[in-house]
Chains A and B, each alone.
Chain A
Amino acid sequence: MVKRMASEKMTQNSTKKKLDALDTKIIKELLKNSRKPFAEIASECKVSTLTISKRYNELVKKGIIVGSSILIDYAHFGIEYNGLLYVNVNPDQLRDFLRSLHEIEGDFYVLKRNIIENYNVIVVSRVTNLKELEKLKESIKQHSSVIDIKTDIWTYMKVDLANLSMEL
């Protein structure tokens, strides 16, 4: 009982301090499986389930855990790969270009980023065959702002979000 109270007190103090080993453990476990029961994490860390749930709520409150989602293996949907189109767009017409993408049919999404190389927009498309990708590329090329397009295809992806050192 005394021990339990002590750990509860520690939890309260920790809200104002940096993250500790228990926090990073919770983050890592949930990055591997966001539905892992708190009771399981608690027994692995030898603390109470209540401690884990308090810590979790704190992590949300501090804006460290911002939400949850799923990684989807699209191979189960017959989608074998991601097609990437690196597009070099005239910066003055960037807005216009992005707007024009809404009119193009197909399953794709856009990453706009500050790229060091010569491409300022990346269009990612999940495709079942190369013809689809070629078609998308041709449609995008139509826009007057496009200077150049480079194609890249991702055939396999290994993701491990929990692989973080988190040296705080």
Chain B
Amino acid sequence: MDLDQTDRLIIELLHKDSRVSLRNIAKETGLSTDTIMRRYRQLEKEKVIQPIIKVNLSKLGYEGIASFGIMIASQNMRRKITEKVAEILDVNAVMETTGEYDLMVLCAFRNVTHAFKIGEDISKIVGVRRVSVCNFQVASTQDCVIFPPPFWHNLDLGSK
């Protein structure tokens, strides 16, 4: 899919607030609501973007985000293991990586016992060779790693 300045502008505005009405985006960009609507549907259909809410994890009973590094037995099983790990409750993201680990996992944890239980569940998956705790982070949102800001900066916000 070709993404032009208009698409990038829409993405940028939605990154700040994905529940904003398309009519407001039209107003802000000086484009017609029809155009914005068509572009938005296209972006959604091509899975360029997924609109999500941000929640305060601590108010949902979580202490923070834990990350685990995983080593796997065979690279052929990588995607399959990724899918399996992602199924474990409270796992929010699985990253396939090169470097020290084969996979990195981010999960929301209620307390340290809960975090270790998740680590244990991961280690039971067939093909997982080793699970190491990399980091416990007291955090109220998942921000940054999972939804980093658009990489293009200094975009001119159109005529309006």
Contacts and interface: CB of A to CB of B under 8 A. Distances in A.
B151 A71 contact: no
Query: Which label, helix, strand, loop or mixed, suits the secondary structure of the B interface?
Result: mixed
Q: Which of under 10, 10 to 19, 20 to 34, or 35 or more describes the interface residues of B? A: 35 or more
Contacts of B100: 150, 152
Given A66-B141, A68-B18, A155 B97 contact: yes
Nearest to B144: A111
A159 B16 contact: no
A35 B86 contact: no
Interface stretch (B31-39, B42-50, B119-127): B42-50
Contacts of A77: 3, 151
Contacts of B1: 76
Contacts of B62: 164
Contact of B93 (A70, A113, A124, A157): A157
A9 to B, nearest CB: 24
Interface string A28-52: 0011111100000000000000000
Q: Which of under 10, 10 to 19, 20 to 34, or 35 or more describes the interface residues of A? A: 35 or more
Contact of A163 (B89, B137, B153): B89
From B17, B60, B146, name the one whose CB has the most chain A CB atoms within 10 angstroms: B60
Interface of B: 1, 3, 11, 14-19, 46-56, 59-62, 79, 82-83, 86, 89-101, 104, 108, 110, 133-138, 141-142, 144-151, 153
Given A72-B11, A159-B146, A164-B92, 5 more contacts: A31-B55, A68-B51, A107-B153, A163-B86, A165-B89
